[in-house]
Amino acid sequence: MREFRNKYRGSAEVHTVNIGKFALQLGSLCLSFDSEDADARAIKHALKNVRKVKMYTISNVKGATVSYDDIADLKSNLQRNENFEMLMEVREKGNLIHILNKGKDDELGNVVMLVQDENDFLIVNLQTSLKISDINELIHQFASN
Amino acid sequence: MKRFLLLLLAVFASFHLFAQQGSVIERFFQKYENDRSFTVITITPKMFSMFAKVDPGDADAKNMMKVIQKLKGLRILTKESTKDGPRLYKEAAAFLGSDFEELMTVRDKNSDLKFLVKEDAKGNINELVMLVGSSDEFLAMSLVGTLDLNEISQIANGVNIQGMDKLKNVKKK
């Protein structure tokens, strides 16, 4: 993913956001100020299991810089070389979303989202140890609202 | 040795035949999936296997989840605001003709809707295909999984996909 981003440095506006464990812990500490909010408690619990969030954005007005073939290559590289598995794919007009993950049976594990909209191409990488049961708790919490 | 080679050849031939049988609707999707005027949605078996581990709260959701656990894949190909709806509908139906059995056809003034199924030897449905062709829209949906008609009816009740409501009252005798 880093290699992919580096390929476009110089030819497009590229931004990288890295949120590490410390920043995530700080975020969950802020959420713990409101101890009565059940939503905040659920998010805090989920955040405990997120190790790192990386985001790369590449300006890509109407797909002029990052082509669909480039995105397809990145996707197949992730599947072939990094052992990611495709979860779902949605393409509507110029917009594209691919969601892949690499984790054990009951783990969401390492998640990659490739998102292309009209103006930008975005790669989101969540490194987590979230289990399906954690996601289940989040769903239950938000469904109860 | 000769017998072993013949057996190996037969096994490869059967794989090839199986691959061809499974790829009828796939060929139609492949023909149009790179066309940017189509909307494509794909949910993989991995995603469904992850759904299967979610523990739903109430009894209705539990029943629905039991059915979802049997699903192995979902693909939707749709084109909106198009005059090609009837043409694409006919083309898709022709692709599926030989391998699939017709379950239901609904035709009104503006649109055609067809459900086709592929059954296994036990009479379970292995794949459900829905085609919708109207004067301004086309939709093809392929749902893979081992299901019976009651379960398909349950899915039809639980999803909001245009045309699927027609299957709400289909029940296994």
Task: Provide the pLDDT for residue B16.
Answer: 40
Give the residue numbers spanning the domain of B119. 23-167
In chain A, which residues touch B (CB < 8 A)? 68, 85-94, 101, 105-106, 108, 132-133, 135-136, 139-140, 143
CB atoms near residue B168 (< 10 Å): 14
* A3-42 residue pLDDT tens: 888 888 877 888 888 888 888 778 777 766 666 777 777 7
Q: Is residue B1 in a domain?
A: no
pTM over 0.90: no
- Among A88, A106, A143, whose Cβ lies nearest the Cβ of B43? A88
B43 and chain A in contact, CB less than 8 A: yes
CA of A136 to nearest chain B CA: how many angstroms apart? 6
Q: Is the dihedral of CA A81, A82, A88, A93 positive or negative?
A: negative
How much of chain B exceeds pLDDT 70, in percent?
82
CA of B76 to nearest chain A CA: how many angstroms apart? 9
- Among A85, A108, A140, whose Cβ lies nearest the Cβ of B57? A140
Return the number of CB contacts < 8 Å for A and B: 50
Q: Is residue B95 in a domain?
A: yes
> With a cut of 0.85, is the ipTM above it?
no
- As a whole number of angstroms, the distance between CA A29 and CA A23 comes to 10
Phi-psi region for residue B69, left (φ > 0), alpha (ψ -120 to 50) or beta? alpha
All residues of chain A having their beta carbon less than 8 Å from the beta carbon of residue B43 are 87-88
* Domain tally, chain B: 1
Using the beta-carbon criterion (under 8 Å), do A139 and B43 form an inter-chain contact?
no
B173 has a pLDDT exceeding 70: no
B65 and chain A in contact, CB less than 8 A: no
Using the beta-carbon criterion (under 8 Å), do B50 and A132 form an inter-chain contact?
yes
Place of tokens 């410390």: A22
Distances (CA, A) of B173 to A45, A81, A131, B116, B151: 47, 49, 40, 18, 13
* A76-131 residue pLDDT tens: 999 999 999 999 999 988 788 999 999 887 788 899 999 998 889 999 999 988 88
* B80-111 residue pLDDT tens: 988 889 999 999 988 876 778 888 899 988 89
Residue B87 and residue B104 in contact, taking contact as beta carbons nearer than 8 Å:
no
Q: Is residue B89 in a domain?
A: yes
